[in-house]
Amino acid sequence: MKTVVIFLCLVSAVFIAHTQNVNEYTKTNPAALNIPDAQATSTGDIAAYINNHFKTDDEKLRAIYIWIITHIQYSGDSIHRIILMEDREQLVTFAMRRKKGVCENFAAIFDDLCRKCGLKSFIVEGYTKQNNSLDKTSHAWNIVFAGNKWWPCDPTWDAGQPDYTYFKVSPEVFIKTHWPFDPLFQLLNYPITYKEFYNGNAYTKNSTAYFNYMDSINEYEKSSPVKKYVSASFRIQNNGAPYKLIRDKLSQLRLEAELIYQDKDSALYNNAVADYNNAINNFNAFLTYRNNQFKPQKTDAEIQSLFSEIENRIDSARANLKEINQSKAILTLDTGDIEYALNNLLNHLNEQKTFLKNYTGKTK
């Protein structure tokens, strides 16, 4: 009899839990599906509606997911509009206008809505398996933080389906079909290699050393963009995938890093040029003062202050040029001309300082 009672309690508990989930879905689904068209023209409008009508992160996340998979249609004709380095905002705007898109569009819209609803999210790229066969092209999906945990979601694979199968899936289950380029986004303390994914060994716990992905993602979030690209490249290269499969992704990351390096170098070079021009202007001001036979009269301190300003500008320009010469960019700027000009200016400045010292000594 006790066994029967225990069994009945377990059945009741399961039924209650299932009923609660159904209630959550039945409350969230209609509200998400019935967002007025006038308030669904942009992700900003949709996010505002969701923030006003849903309270918890889980409710907001479910509403975002439901709206996307029921209102954005997967369309192969959109794939020709996707380029490797296309701006995320363009991916969102293009798909929202047409209500069509491919995986990059779905992932971009999901990420954009999550962030505008106060949820942490990342777009993840990698390879997928369907019917135990590796897809030939790469795919894009998302991870999102809700309930103090990171969850993988794939709105593309649920688009147009009556039930959502790839929403907040356990990472241990999700890795059976989705293998990220970057093992950081496997959300596993024991990431699997490409070979294990390809062979169907989806979760071999003892194959690698323990990896604290939660702390690693926290550190990743705080990193500068260039550090993110560099660290991701390192992890991808060391996860055992054939180079032909990760070549485009590595090229993308390296190009992103290269553009940041070049932008930084350009800013340093422009600062060096500005310092040089400022120094030249001050030097010409002294020459004008000298040609006017040192009139109107300046104190020694005022003249020395002018010289010090010129020297400080030269030092600042040289510091910027030194940083450029230590740049990690593949295509670096040539600093030879401005370095020559700075040295020439400093020589002329020293000549004028010597002249002034001799001149003031004689007049005294």
Average pLDDT over residues 40-66: 93
Which pTM does this prediction carry? 0.78
Among 195, 190, 198, 106, residue whose Cα is nearest residue 153: 106
Three-state secondary-structure class, residue 319: helix
The two structure tokens encoding residue 293: 């036979």
Percent of the chain with pLDDT over 70: 85
CATH number for the region 26-126+135-169 comes to: 3.10.620.30
- As a whole number of angstroms, the distance between CA 266 and CA 279 comes to 20
CA–centroid distance for 68 within its chain: 22
Amino acid identity for residue 306 in this structure: L
DSSP 75: -
Say which range, 30-34, 141-145, 306-310, has the weakest mean pLDDT.
Answer: 30-34
Q: Which residues, in sequence order, are bridge partners of residue 73?
A: 100
* Apex 178 CA angle, 174 and 183, nearest 5: 95
Q: Report how far apart the first and last C-alpha atoms of the chain are (Å, whole number).
A: 118
Average pLDDT over residues 358-364: 65
Q: Rounded to 10 degrees, what is the CA torsion of 108, 170, 9, 20?
A: 0
Q: Which pLDDT does position 56 carry in this prediction?
A: 92
DSSP 175: T
Q: How many other CB atoms are found less than 10 A from the CB of residue 341?
A: 16
Supply the mean pLDDT for the chain.
86
